């Protein structure tokens, strides 16, 4: 049924600033923008990580009526190799602590921030992620 993440989408009222912020954070330019030739576009997207998962930013004017305007009840965690260092980098870029790095036992560590645009960005060291990665010969 659910086979994997296709796209994680964040909203931003200032899409140009969000595009700049995430481009700096990720160290790569978005691979897709819609509509083309409009600055800022209404949607930008990056493919990132070992499995080329997609992170998209959408102009908040396209949010469904009644959408939350601040952090909600869902946190998507992206695997990182060093939670503490990534957390500090996010804070140094203007993100605000949502949950400090927390040892979840058995090697799992989580943390999350609220980006400057109001979205929760979760980071995690996840041994299971590395096991799956290793089984696909991508490690």
pLDDT tens-digit series, residues 16-46: 999 999 999 999 999 999 997 787 789 999 9
Q: What is the pLDDT of residue 40?
A: 79
The parent domain of residue 14 ranges over 1-61
* Torsion, CA 89, CA 133, CA 11, CA 26, rounded to 10: 40
Whether 7 is covered by a domain: the verdict is yes
Pair (55, 100) in one structural domain: no
Pair (79, 57) in one structural domain: no
**Using 50, 70 and 90 to split pLDDT, how confident is the model at 5?**
confident
Whether 69 is covered by a domain: the verdict is no
Pair (127, 86) in one structural domain: yes
| Of 73 and 7, the one with more pLDDT | 7
Q: What is the pLDDT of residue 69?
A: 74
Pair (46, 84) in one structural domain: no
Q: What is the pLDDT of residue 71?
A: 84
Pair (83, 52) in one structural domain: no
Residue 124 dihedral angles phi and psi, to the nearest 5°: -155, 140
Structural contact between residues 126 and 77, judged by C-beta atoms closer than 8 angstroms: yes
Predicted TM-score of the model (pTM): 0.92
Q: For the chain, how many structural domains are there in total?
A: 2
Structural contact between residues 22 and 57, judged by C-beta atoms closer than 8 angstroms: yes
What is the tens place of the pLDDT at every residue in 88-129?
999 999 999 999 999 999 999 999 999 999 999 999 999 999
Q: What is the pLDDT of residue 136?
A: 86
The full length of the chain comes to: 139
């Amino acid at each position: 049924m659910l086979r994997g993440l296709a796209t994680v989408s964040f909203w931003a009222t200032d899409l140009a600033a969000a595009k700049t912020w995430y481009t700096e954070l990720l160290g790569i330019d978005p691979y897709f923008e819609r509509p083309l030739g409009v600055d800022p576009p209404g949607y930008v997207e990056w493919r990132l990580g070992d499995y080329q998962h997609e992170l998209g930013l959408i102009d908040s004017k396209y949010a469904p009526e009644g959408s939350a305007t601040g952090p909600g009840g869902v946190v998507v965690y992206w695997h990182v190799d060093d939670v503490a260092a990534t957390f500090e980098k996010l804070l140094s870029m203007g993100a605000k602590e949502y949950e400090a790095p927390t040892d979840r036992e058995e090697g799992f560590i989580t943390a999350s921030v609220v980006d400057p645009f109001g979205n929760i960005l979760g980071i995690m060291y996840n041994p299971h992620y590395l096991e799956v990665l290793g089984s696909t010969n991508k490690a």
